[in-house]
């Protein structure tokens, strides 16, 4: 394909996007425009950096830090669009370009953070920072940018800098390959339900979703398939009475990234670990975990391990009690024992239905996706005064995606929100929030353009499990963190906070999905429109801690293994499969519980560095949110105005302008305590 010109008049990626607050012109964008746009944007950014670094003026906050924050806007715009497309609506052409461009982007970033003249100016300002008369946000920007340069190797010797650049470039390629391998495996797999016998036990909502998945893959409206998407796979494991099919699907999920073919992620993960070890050693750290945790709230691995082990053994003990109940159910159903990991979902669903008169087939009709979107918007309005007005005549990246203008209580537009909620073969698995444009106040300001991606099974009426509802609210909590950002400097905006703080706004927002008044207003039967009965809400609350030990073990074991593999000292080779087996044995991971994420498909850890030695952050943030939500409980009103305003002004709108522990204290009036979290997961009983 012939490269598109680098002239802004013919390449839409290079023109200013003035339509709809900076929304990309999706209907004008083709893959062929990206490479030439990257060429222009990379060169422009380097020129901006050189101008800052070589300025004849004495370094000042404005001509160095503020200028650095304002640089690279064109590159940021193109890169965000590109990465959002490769995650949400990819193609063979985009993937090929991703493999070519990701190492170039990594090398470009490395060149900037290794720029000696630029760092000299920043370092000079940092050394005299207390005498510069900076306000709080300016001081935070200076300190954070200086730290990022140091952590990126700005103080390394010349020969170390060369090697460091080689490391980050190779890592970028490996991250991309790991992600693409996993996407290809997940897109290729289907469990075809061929006969009526294959449908045994499956409720109507799951049959509809399986039909929709078959249509997406061109198999016809009379076909039904189950994919590896959790929104299909997990209900199938819960309801299918065909034990052989449950085992087939479970094994396919476990084996992702671990096939002996060109998609084998194990050697890729091993190489990533080796490069990270060397990276940490160049920084003078004993391990990669030590390097990462040096810029986290946790600070040291020992603090992480104390938290994880505080729940690990108690959860194993609780799981033993649950296992006995599941074994009794297996005997009742004439199912084989001892139970296997592909039995746990199914038997737990049966016990839950028996114990609480509750299962997803009863609750899902009340949780249509449309109503739950309305519920989360309503909560955002009641808490923060936001309004969401859907826009219909604007092209987006996929027909399933939807766009809302977000306005404050005065009607002023504060951002755009895109919801892309359905699974498809061209979209990576999981759920995540991203941005097409970040908030800032410089040069007239920019409004945030936020996207939430989920992977719900599409159906004529998409019905959600309550776990799906929590996921929807969770990602919207991230979305609100981006939408409500109110800072001057883009480098401090929105979710650009420490990794073990970034999950607080998202996990905190999940709490409103459980509130009775929210459910009574929005959880309405998809056919009759009747509100969810109060008795059913009480059953949901009563069942909240059921099977929590299993969920805790499934999460905590990968978090512990993540910490263990990244605690290895430099030069320690890793056999990924053997390491995982050894760690499961060391920890005593119950075979019938297993891991939520095996290393060969652990996207959090190996498709990016963001959560490396950091999968623990969800539990760390859960401690914060459990304690934080009690601030509302103590008022007797989950929408208490004063508490919501304090939450807005200390957590959701402040980005990284405040140190996280100080931000939390400003909201809560004290440091967090762990007891509300332990009560929440059933490991601390109320007296």
Distance, first Cα to last Cα, the chain:
70
Cα(2)–Cα(280) distance, rounded to whole angstroms?
A: 42
Strand partners, 418: 403, 451
How many angstroms separate the CA atoms of 338 and 343, rounded? 10
Angle at 170 between CA 166 and CA 174, to 5 degrees: 165
Structure tokens at 609: 């560095």
- What does the alpha-carbon distance between residue 393 and residue 140 come to, in Å, rounded to a whole number? 41
The answer to whether 5 and 11 are in contact (CB under 8 A) is yes
Question: Residue 556 in contact with residue 315, Cβ under 8 Å?
Answer: yes
Cα–Cα distance, 364 to 244 (Å, whole number)? 26
Structural contact between residues 231 and 457, judged by C-beta atoms closer than 8 angstroms: yes
CB 209 within 8 A of CB 458: yes
Tokens of 21: 């607050």
Q: Are 199 and 300 in contact (CB under 8 A)?
A: no
DSSP state of 19: G
For CA atoms 463, 465, 471, 477, give the dihedral sign.
Answer: positive
Handedness of CA 436, 442, 443, 444 (dihedral sign): positive
The per-residue DSSP string of 379-434 comes to: HHHHHH--EEEEE-SS--SSTT-EEEEEE-TTS-EEEEEEEEEE--TTS-SS-EEE
The contacts of residue 64 (CB under 8 Å, 6+ apart) are 52, 55, 121, 122, 125
d(CA 167, CA 162): 9
State the pairing for strand pair 413-422/449-456.
parallel
Catalytic residue from among 475, 503, 510, 580: 475
Answer yes or no: 313 catalytic.
no
Do 680 and 623 contact (CB within 8 A), yes or no? no
Q: Which residues are catalytic?
A: 475
């Amino acid at each position: 394909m012939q490269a598109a010109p680098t002239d802004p008049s013919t390449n839409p990626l290079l023109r200013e996007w003035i339509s709809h607050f900076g929304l990309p012109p999706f209907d004008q964008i083709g893959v062929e425009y990206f490479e030439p746009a990257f060429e222009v944007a990379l060169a422009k950014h380097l020129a901006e950096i050189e101008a800052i670094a070589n300025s004849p003026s004495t370094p000042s906050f404005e001509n160095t830090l503020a200028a650095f924050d304002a640089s690279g806007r064109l590159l940021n715009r193109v890169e965000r669009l590109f990465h959002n497309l490769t995650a949400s609506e990819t193609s063979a052409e985009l993937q090929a370009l991703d493999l070519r461009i990701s190492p170039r982007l990594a090398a470009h970033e490395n060149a900037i953070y290794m720029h000696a003249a630029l760092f000299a100016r920043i370092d000079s300002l940092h050394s005299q920072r207390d005498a510069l008369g900076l306000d709080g946000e300016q001081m935070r920007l200076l300190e954070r940018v200086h730290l990022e340069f140091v952590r990126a190797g700005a103080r390394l010797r010349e020969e170390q800098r060369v090697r460091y650049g080689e490391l980050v470039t190779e890592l970028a390629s490996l991250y991309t390959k790991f992600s693409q391998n996993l996407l290809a495996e997940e897109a290729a797999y289907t469990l075809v339900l061929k006969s009526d016998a294959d449908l045994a036990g499956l409720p109507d909502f799951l049959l509809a979703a399986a039909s929709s998945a078959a249509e997406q893959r061109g198999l016809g409206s009379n076909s039904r398939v189950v994919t590896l998407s959790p929104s299909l796979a997990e209900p199938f494991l819960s309801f299918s009475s065909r034990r052989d099919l449950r085992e087939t699907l479970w094994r396919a999920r476990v084996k992702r990234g671990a096939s002996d073919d060109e998609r084998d992620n194990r050697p890729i993960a091993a190489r990533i670990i080796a490069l990270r070890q060397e990276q940490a050693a160049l920084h003078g750290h004993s391990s990669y975990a030590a390097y990462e945790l040096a810029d986290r709230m946790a600070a040291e691995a020992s603090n992480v391990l104390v938290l994880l082990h505080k729940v690990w053994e108690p959860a194993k003990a609780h799981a033993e009690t649950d296992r006995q109940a599941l074994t009794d159910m297996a005997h009742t159903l004439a199912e084989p024992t001892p139970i296997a990991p592909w039995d746990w979902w199914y038997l737990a669903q049966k016990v839950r239905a028996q114990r609480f008169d509750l299962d997803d087939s009863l609750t899902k009709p009340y949780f249509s996706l449309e109503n739950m979107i309305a519920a989360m918007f309503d909560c955002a309005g009641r808490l923060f005064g936001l309004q969401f007005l859907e826009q219909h005549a604007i092209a987006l990246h996929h027909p399933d995606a939807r766009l809302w203008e977000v306005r404050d209580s005065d009607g002023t537009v504060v951002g755009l929100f895109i919801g892309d909620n359905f699974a498809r073969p061209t979209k990576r698995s999981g759920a995540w929030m991203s941005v097409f444009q970040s908030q800032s106040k410089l040069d007239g300001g920019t409004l945030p353009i936020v996207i939430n991606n989920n992977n719900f099974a599409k159906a004529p009426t998409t019905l959600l499990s309550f776990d799906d509802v929590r996921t929807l609210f969770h990602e919207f909590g991230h979305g609100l963190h981006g939408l409500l950002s109110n800072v001057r400097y883009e480098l401090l905006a929105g979710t650009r906070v420490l990794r073990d703080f970034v999950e607080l706004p998202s996990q905190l927002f999940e709490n409103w999905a459980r509130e009775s008044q929210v459910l009574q207003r929005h959880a309405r039967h998809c056919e009759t429109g009747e509100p969810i009965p109060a008795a059913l809400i009480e059953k949901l609350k009563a069942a909240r801690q059921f099977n929590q030990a299993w969920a805790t073990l499934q999460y905590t074991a990968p978090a512990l293994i993540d910490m263990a593999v990244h605690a290895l000292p430099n030069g320690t080779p890793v056999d990924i499969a053997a390491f995982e087996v050894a760690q499961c044995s060391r920890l005593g991971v119950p075979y019938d519980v297993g891991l939520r994420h095996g290393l060969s498909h652990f996207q959090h850890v190996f498709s990016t560095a963001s959560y490396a030695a950091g999968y623990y952050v969800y539990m760390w943030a859960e401690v914060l949110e459990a304690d934080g939500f009690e601030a509302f409980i103590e008022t007797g009103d989950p929408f208490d105005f004063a508490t919501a305003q304090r939450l807005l002004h200390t957590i959701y709108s402040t980005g990284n302008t405040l140190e996280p522990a100080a931000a939390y204290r400003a909201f809560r009036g004290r440091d967090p305590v762990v007891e509300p979290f332990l009560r929440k997961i059933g490991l601390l009983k109320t007296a």
